[in-house]
Structure 1
Amino acid sequence: MSTTTHQAITTADAPAPVGPYNQAVQAGEWLYCSGQIPLDPATGEMVGGGDVEAETRQVLRNLKAVLNAAGTEAAKVVRTTVYLVDLADFQAVNAIYAEMFGSGVSPARACVQVAALPKGSKVEIDCIAWLG
């Protein structure tokens, strides 16, 4: 019987976790990225001032940095989950999301409205990527 090893993936180009978790975990040929919120990796401060479009752009920059640290890219993302505090922001977030994931085969996705997100964020996105 074979065992799968796993390892933490970290990068200074994405914000440090705000809790007891890793930015991502590689398990075999899969990468499981924790949810990203719009934190500036250099300062740890929120970006966007409540503007969901600016927040989404920062979230995706952070997610891309984690993917890059693992040696992969957005094109290899197979699944995402988008968490929104207000589903009325869906169209604005979706347009920016499409800039990163809209070409080729877009990832499978769920989008849910939640009561609140860490640090007052309006959006959080996590993903699973294939490393093979």
Structure 2
Amino acid sequence: MNTATDEEANIELGDRPSCESKRQRAGIEHIGAFGMRTGDSDLIFFQGILPEINGDVRGDEPADAQVSMCLDRLELMLENRNVTLADLLKVEVRLTDVDALETVDRVYRERFENVEFPPRSVVGVCTLPGGAAIEIDVVAAEE
């Protein structure tokens, strides 16, 4: 059985790991219904946390400010559920510029200074809603 390589199959990967979806091109008014909790478990899911203030995504702010805004929003969401950063089980960070990871790490360390780091994944993406440079999803546990 012969398997064609990418070169033999004339597959062009381009400069980006993926293409924008229609939802991404259409702006934040089409970002979907991100859930905050599913089922009757003690797990809480926060999805699509963007650097926004009063519904306005601040994609033009520097990376450190965007990370801080996302973490500020996350802490408010956690507080509303009577949990804290110490209750996080998993964090996923999506970045449009993976070179900003050092900045993300610096702000992250400052915010989690007295808290054990939860497991974290960082994923590079082409674009995010509203032109944001960062988006965060987390799973937390109500104890």
Q: TM-score range by the shorter chain?
A: 0.7 to 0.9
Secondary structure at the counterpart of residue 52 of structure 2: coil
TM-score by length of 1: 0.77
Give the 3 Å change call, closer, same or farther, for CA 45–57 of structure 1 in structure 2: same
Looking at secondary structure, tell me which structure has more strand per residue.
Answer: 1
TM-score by length of 2: 0.72
Contact between 1:86 and 1:113, CA under 8 Å: does it hold in 2?
yes
Higher RCO by CA contacts (8 Å cutoff, separation 6 or greater): 2
In the alignment, which of 97, 100, 105 is matched to residue 89 of structure 1?
A: 100
Question: Mapping of 1:82-121 within 5 angstroms?
Answer: 82-121=93-132
Give the 3 Å change call, closer, same or farther, for CA 107–81 of structure 1 in structure 2: same
In the alignment, which of 44, 50, 63 is matched to residue 31 of structure 1?
A: 44
Q: Deviations over 1:50-79 (max 9, x none)?
A: 311111110111111111111101111111
Q: Distance in 2 between matches of 1:39 and 1:94?
A: 20
Structure 1: give runs of 5+ residues left out of the alignment: 1-16
Secondary structure at the counterpart of residue 67 of structure 1: helix
Higher-Rg member (1/2) = 2
CA RMSD, aligned part only?
1.8
Contact between 1:81 and 1:110, CA under 8 Å: does it hold in 2?
yes
Letter in 2 for 1:19: G
Structure 2: give runs of 5+ residues left out of the alignment: 1-29
Q: Distance in 2 between matches of 1:46 and 1:21?
A: 16
Give, in angstroms, the shift of residue 48 of structure 1. Answer: 6.1
Give, in angstroms, the shift of residue 29 of structure 1. Answer: 1.1
